[in-house]
Amino acid sequence: MKIIKAAVAGTLESSDLMVKVSPSSGGLEVVVNSEVMRQFGRQIRKVVDETLKKLEVTDGTIVIEDKGALDCAIRARLQAAVLRGAEVEELNWSQLS
């Protein structure tokens, strides 16, 4: 999936996260900032990497500000931001599950 424009999903409220994506042709850059990085940083990164891999995102800049969201919210917000950035309307459910 190719990110063709800047897009945002989520909020900075507690238990949520904000994901910003923007296009880039120089590979994939992922920045994760989290209030619970020390305890859950590895798990958050795992969810983010798996989600991006399923969406086949290979280029772009992804910046995540996590406020203690559950895995399901991380997955959902990241998917929403990428789909918006890629201007994808029709969902491929196998990439989201």
Partner 1 sequence: MKKLRRSMLFLPGSNAAMLSTAFVYKPDSIMFDLEDAVSLREKDSARILVYHAIQNPAYRDIEKVVRINALSTPFGLKDLEAAVRARADVIRLPKTDSANDIHELEEHVVRIEKACGRPVGETGLMAAVESASGVVNAVSIAQSSPRLIGIALAAFDYVMDMQTERGDGTELFYARCAVLHAARVARIDAFDAVFSDVNDEEGFLREVELIRKLGYNGKSLINPRQIELLHNAYAPTREEVEYAERVVVAAEEGEKAGLGVISLNGKMIDGPIIDHARSVITRARASGIRQ
The residue (of 16 and 60) whose beta carbon lies closer to partner 1 is 16
Tokens standing for 29? 């850059």
DSSP of 47-87: HHHHHHHHTT--SEEEEEEESS--HHHHHHHHHHHHHHHTT
The residue (of 26 and 72) whose beta carbon lies closer to partner 1 is 72
| Interaction of residue 4 with partner 1, rule CB under 8 A | no
| Interaction of residue 64 with partner 1, rule CB under 8 A | no
Q: Pick one of 3, 40, 75, 85: the residue that binds partner 1 (CB under 8 A).
A: 75
| Interaction of residue 33 with partner 1, rule CB under 8 A | no
Q: Are 60 and 28 spatial neighbours (Cβ–Cβ below 8 Å)? A: yes
The residue (of 60 and 74) whose beta carbon lies closer to partner 1 is 74
Which of the stretches 23-31, 35-43, 56-64, 79-87 binds partner 1 when contact is defined by CB under 8 A? 79-87
The C-alpha atoms of residue 12 and residue 46 are separated, in whole angstroms, by 21
Q: Are 1 and 82 spatial neighbours (Cβ–Cβ below 8 Å)? A: yes
